[in-house]
Amino acid sequence: MKKILAVVRREFVERVRTKAFVISTVLLPVFMVAMVLLPALMMSGGDRASRVAVVDASTTGLGQPVSHALESEKLGNGPNAKSRYAVQVFPATSDDLAKVRDGLIASTGFSGDKQKDGWNGVLVLTDDTLATGKLSYYGGNVGSLESMSKLQRAISGALAGVRLGKSGVDAALVKRAMAPADLDTTKVSDGKLTGQSGQESFMIAYFMGFILYIAILIYGQQTMTSVIEEKTSRIMEVLTSSLTPFQMLLGKVLGVGAAGLAQMAIWGGTVFVLSSQRTPLAAAFGMSADAAQSFPIPSMAPGLLLVFLLYFALGFMLYGALYAAIGAMCNTIQETQQYAIFVTVFIIVGFFAVFALIKDPTGPLGVTMSYIPFFAPFTMPVRWSLTSVPPLELVLSLALMVATLLACVWLAARIYRTGILMYGKKPSWRELWRWVRA
Amino acid sequence: MTAASVRIESVTKRFSGHTAVNRLSMEVAAGGIFGLLGPNGAGKSTTIRLIMGILEPDEGRIVLFDSPHGSRALSQRIGYLPEERGLYKKMKVLDHLIFLGETKGIGRADARKRAQAWLERLGVSEWALKKVEDLSKGMQQKVQFAGALLHEPELVILDEPFSGLDPVNAQVMKDIVVAIAAEGRTVLFSTHVMEQAERMCDRIAIIARGEMVVNGTVAQVKEDFGGRHVALGFTHDKARAGNILADRALVAHVDDYGASAELQMADGADPEQLLAALVREGVGLRRFEVVEPSLHAIFIAKVGAEAATAHAGVAA
């Protein structure tokens, strides 16, 4: 036991100390921040307050209610949210309409603060507007579909209010009648609320599958590489004289796994901090809170986190043992490829099963997959997050995984024992079988 | 001190059709330095790997310290320097030694102390925090040597310990090996450098093609080899000695080194006859000495003869 710990510590410490580890640990969170912030920053252009000039050429004073409606549009949901539009009304008659409009357009569409009294857009209201709903908008941001639809919605509301008011409907009643529908989606499974929105469920499922996929591929390969390295450096011979193959293998798989988990923990911690601090963070980058909110960073329920970690650890060790055995069979990285492809296929099938599962979490495919130990690490946490898994099924799946893991470590140790000293010769499948039985 | 450290009982090991070790039996008594000699490919390393439990014998068995356990269970009492030197290249020297100590069951703090003491002793303590890959080959070998001895094993097994070392480092290693034996511990080392074995070993075993050729104390081996041997050193006119040395009635076998030669007298021939003949011919002599046969001579004679009879056997 003490010896296994020594191997674990060596694998862990030596791995964590490498430049590659430090760099990848730091770079991924930076990348994540960029992934979250960049699109938000790009889209936040439409979320700055825009200065709108309203040219009111109507005879009914339509400018007043429209500018009022625009001014009451807010950026974000908070009580302190700033107005979306800064509006100024320019009265005009049908005669000088063109002149007023063109004068305003001349100072429209300049970026930033280039022109002091510049406008982001010019809105032209005429008598036609109330009757047919037709009005014109000239602006630099007409390409932003989101901005345009927001503007259109606000004006539509104002026009509807004016029309209803003309028909004698009370203003307060109009306001209540015009309140928008607010759709709130919540996932239901097996007659129970999961407490997650539909989008979040998908994000979590995808995210977990992806993390596992990446982690197993990267760290599994590292386990394999490190076995090969020990063989080529011939350190193996010293180690086999004092450690059993089982000790070496378990120590290596656990050590590399611990390094992987540490990295994941750092990344996971970053996600957590980012998501809990996203509002101040967004503010620091000059974005509105609304923009930050539009990127849901999924939060994991404690139960799901536990299931995920359990399957992550088990799955990792399972694949790590397989990779280590492949390393023991081969002498060079190139040689490992023809064996490693089988393992990679398992991983890829497991990963893509997640997508089938997201569509139909309770289907026979998903249920079967979550019992097969090589796929369970991918499918079970996703099933758990999408539907409710009966505890008995979870226990059975876990037990199967533990049993397979032990069988794999045993098998790998058998191959390891013979394979580590086989220099320069690649075993045939029949020889492999002999090593296992030996 | 009579208990055997290693007892090999009729061990056979085959590798895909080729027999590396063939019904080999030998005993390494506790204490002293035991030399395992043999030409390249004789099965020295295979024998050592069998002792270390890295390979399993196909037939026969190996007993360590008269214990029923294998070498892995006894690894705390055994130190091993493999022929193929290998260390983790990216590890720091001190960390590496600590790790090797830990695999032998020593606590971390203790391993650190011992590692530092060994680095000091080998004169590489200023390299303790360098990576292994930054060290020269010779220094790496010293580090691995320290790793094999860190846990003060009572049996030290060294496979070709002096190969690839410069004379100064070889001397350092030799002194350590001798010191270990002086403490009453057992050293088993393999080599094909006979002069070294002759000077250091109490007991030797010569193996060839996986079989035992000679086994015993150095004195005993020499006595058993028998014959009278003469060492010659020439100064001039060596060519004139040609006929005399070729006279099979006088000289049974010559090992010619150019400026010197070692020869075995023919049965019944007298060294004085040889000296008289050489002087008569006017051969310039720097040295004429009746000596014990060197291990080298025994080795060449035995292994050469073995090979010859083996070939004859195959031919017949």
Asked if A103 and A211 sit in the same domain, the reply is: no
pLDDT, residue B315, reads 36
Evaluate whether residue B298 is within a structural domain. Answer: no
- Alpha carbon distances (Å) from B107 to A84, A247, B29, B113, B114: 69, 17, 30, 10, 11
Q: How confident is the model at residue B115 (pLDDT cuts 50, 70, 90)?
A: very high
B316 located within any domain: no
Say if the Cβ atoms of A235 and B78 lie within 8 Å.
no
Is residue B302 assigned to a domain? no
- Helix A302-329 vs helix A198-232: crossing angle, to nearest 10: 30
CA B196 – CA B204 distance, rounded (Å): 12
For residues B203 and B265, membership in a common domain is answered with no
The residue from B223, B247, B275 where one domain ends is B223
What distance in Å separates residue A410's CA from the closest CA in chain B? 18
**How high is the ipTM of this complex?**
0.73
Interface contact flag, A238 B102, Cβ < 8 Å: no
What pLDDT is recorded for position B312? 40
Give a yes or no: residue B76 inside a domain.
yes
HSE-CB at A338 with a 13 A cutoff on CA atoms is 10
The answer to whether B88 touches B144, Cβ cutoff 8 Å, is no
One domain for residues A29 and A86: no
- The whole-number pLDDT of residue B33 equals 92
- Same domain? For B217 and B240 the reply is no
pLDDT tens-place string over residues A335-377: 788 888 888 888 888 888 877 777 777 778 778 888 888 888 8
A415 and A343 co-located in one domain: yes
Asked, for residue B297, whether it belongs to a domain, the answer is: no
- Please, which contacts does A77-86 make with residues 24 or more away whose CB atoms are closer than 8 Å? A77/A289, A77/A290, A78/A289, A81/A288, A81/A290, A82/A49, A83/A49, A84/A49, A84/A50, A84/A150, A85/A49, A85/A50, A85/A51, A85/A52, A85/A154, A86/A49, A86/A50, A86/A51, A86/A52
- Segment A130-153 shows an average pLDDT of 80
Minimal Cβ distance to A242: which of B49, B75, B91: B75
Question: Within the 395-434 window of chain A, which residues sit less than 8 Å (CB to CB) from chain B?
Answer: 421
Q: Which residue of B has its CA nearest to A14?
A: B91
Q: What's this model's pTM, rounded to 2 decimal places?
A: 0.69
Instruction: Tell me which residue range forms the domain holding B231.
Output: 227-292
Task: Out of A3, A234, A241, name the one closest to residue B71 (CB).
Answer: A241
For residue A2, list chain B residues with Cβ-Cβ distance below 8 A. Answer: 102, 105
| pLDDT of B137 above 90 | no
Q: Is residue A186 one of the residues assigned to a domain?
A: no
Tell me how far the alpha carbon of residue A419 is from its chain's centroid.
Answer: 41
Q: pLDDT value at position A227?
A: 83
Distance of alpha carbon B214 from the chain centroid: 13
Q: Given CB atoms, is A235 within the 8 Å cutoff of chain B?
A: yes
Indicate which CATH number applies to the domain containing B279: 3.30.70.100
Q: CA torsion sign, A370 to A373 to A375 to A380?
A: positive
Pick the residue with more confidence: B158 or A58? B158
Q: Which of A425-434, B109-118, B258-267, B283-292 has the highest mean pLDDT?
A: B109-118
Among B223, B248, B282, give the residue marking a domain's end.
B223
Is A204 inside a domain boundary?
Answer: yes
Q: How far is B204 from chain A (nearest CA, A)?
A: 24
C-alpha to C-alpha distance for B225 and B302, rounded to whole angstroms: 9
Q: B193 in a domain, yes or no?
A: yes
Kindly give, in sequence order, each residue whose CB lies less than 8 Å from that of residue B17, ignoring residues fewer than 6 positions away: none
The verdict on A354 and A430 lying in the same domain is yes
Q: Contacts of residue B87 in chain A, CB cutoff 8 Å? A: 233, 235
Q: Are A325 and A415 in contact (CB under 8 A)?
A: yes
The shortest C-alpha distance from A318 to chain B (Å) reads 25
Question: Distance, in angstroms, between B112 CA and closest chain A CA?
Answer: 13
* Min distance A421 CA to chain B CA atoms (Å): 8
pLDDT-derived band at B112 (thresholds 50, 70, 90) equals very high
Tally of structural domains, chain B: 2
CA distances from B298 to A309, B288, B293, B305 (A): 68, 20, 7, 10
CA pair distance A263, A117, nearest whole angstrom: 52
The rounded mean pLDDT for chain A is 76
**A281 and A381 within one domain:** yes
Q: Is A14 close to B54, i.e. CB distance below 8 A?
A: no
Instruction: CATH number of the domain at B117, please.
Output: 3.40.50.300
pLDDT exceeds 70 at position A145: yes
B313, pLDDT greater than 50: no
Query: Residue B34 above 90 pLDDT?
Result: yes
User: Do the Cβ atoms of A237 and B86 come within 8 Å?
Assistant: yes
Q: What is the pLDDT averaged over residues A382-406?
A: 83
* Per-position DSSP letters for A165-197, written without gaps between them: HHTT--HHHHHHHTPPP------EETTEE-S--
In a domain, A182, yes or no: no
Assess whether A94 and A205 both reside in one domain.
no
Instruction: For chain A, give the percent of residues with pLDDT over 70.
Output: 79
Mean pLDDT of A261-271: 80
pLDDT, greater one: A142 or B173: B173
Do A242 and B87 make contact, defined as CB atoms within 8 angstroms? no
In this prediction, residues A20-24 reach a mean pLDDT of 85
Which of A222, A232, A240, A244 is the mutation pick for testing B, counting most B CBs within 10 A?
A240
- Compute the nearest-CA separation of B293 from chain A (Å): 37
In single-letter form, the type of residue at position A341 comes to: I
Radius of gyration of chain B measured on its C-alpha atoms: 23
B314 pLDDT band, cuts 50/70/90, is: very low
* pLDDT 10s digits, A43-56: 555 456 778 888 88
Which of B170, B196, B223 is the C-terminal boundary of a domain? B223
CATH code, A150 = 3.40.190
Among B72, B78, B82, the residue with its CB nearest the CB of A237 is: B82
Inter-chain touch A235–B87, beta carbons under 8 Å: yes
pLDDT of residue B186: 92
A425 to chain B nearest CA, in Å?
A: 12
Q: In which band, very low, low, confident or very high, does the pLDDT at B310 lie, cut at 50, 70 and 90?
A: very low
In terms of domains, do A13 and A55 share one? no
CA distance A301 to A309: 12
Tell me the chain A residues in contact with residue B52 when contact means C-beta distances shorter than 8 Å: 240-241
Same domain, A165 and A240: no
Residue A188 lies in a domain: no
**Interface touch B103/A234, C-beta < 8 Å:** no
Structure confidence by residue, pLDDT tens digits, A280-320:
666 666 555 555 555 555 556 677 778 888 888 888 888 88
> What are the C-alpha distances in Å from A122 to residues A56, A127, A135, A253, B190?
11, 17, 11, 66, 96
Give rounded-to-5 percent helix, strand, coil for chain A. Answer: 65, 5, 25
Write the pLDDT tens digit of every residue in A76-131: 655 566 677 888 888 888 788 888 888 888 877 766 555 566 778 888 888 878 78
Q: Is A189 a residue whose pLDDT tops 70? A: no
Contact residues of B toward A, CB < 8 A: 49, 52-55, 71-72, 75, 78, 80, 82, 84-91, 95, 99-100, 102-105, 144, 147-148
A220 part of a folded domain = yes
pLDDT value of position A279: 66
Claim to verify: residue A145 and residue A114 sit in the same structural domain:
yes
What average pLDDT does chain B have? Answer: 85
Band the pLDDT of A270: cuts 50, 70, 90. confident
Of A2, A10, A236, the CB nearest to B105: A2
Q: Are residues B174 and B60 in the same domain?
A: yes
Instruction: Judge: A14–B89 Cβ closer than 8 Å, yes or no.
Output: no
Burial tier of A160 (Cβ tally within 10 Å: 0-12, 13-18, 19+) = middle
Query: Is pLDDT at A200 greater than 70 in this prediction?
Result: no
Query: Is residue B189 located within the same domain as residue B43?
Result: yes
State yes or no: pLDDT of A266 exceeds 50.
yes
* Coil/strand/helix, residue B274: helix
Higher-confidence position of B315 and A176:
A176
Instruction: Give the integer Cα–Cα distance in Å for A219 and A230.
Output: 16
Does one domain contain both B87 and B175? yes
Tell me, yes or no, whether A358 and A321 share the same domain.
yes
DSSP code at position B294: P
Q: Do the domain assignments include residue A250?
A: yes
Do A331 and A361 fall into the same domain?
yes
Disruptive mutation site among B88, B103, B112, B149 for chain A (greatest number of A CBs within 10 Å):
B103
- From B75, B91, B103, residue closest to A6, measured CB to CB: B103
Looking at residues B274-296, what average pLDDT do you find?
86
Q: Is the pLDDT of residue A240 over 60?
A: yes
Same domain, B176 and B195: yes
Judging contacts by C-beta atoms under 8 Å, the chain A residues touching residue B49 are: 237, 421
Spatial distance between the Cα atoms of A3 and B275, rounded to a whole number of angstroms: 66
Which member of A13, A237, A242 has the closest CB to residue B104? A242
Range in A69-83, A261-275, B181-195 the model is least confident about: A69-83
Is A192 part of a structural domain of the chain?
Answer: no
For residue A41, name the pLDDT band (cuts at 50, 70, 90).
low
* Domain end residue (candidates: A177, A206, A223): A177
Q: Are residues B241 and B213 in the same domain?
A: no
What is the domain range of residue A145? 47-177
Nearest alpha carbon to residue B252 among B273, B229, B272, B222 = B229
Note whether A241 contacts B52, CB cutoff 8 Å: yes
State whether A173 and A227 are in the same domain: no
Tell me the chain B residues in contact with residue A6 when contact means C-beta distances shorter than 8 Å: 99, 102-103
Number of domains in chain A: 2
Q: How far is B59 from chain A (nearest CA, A)?
A: 15
Inside any domain, residue B300? no
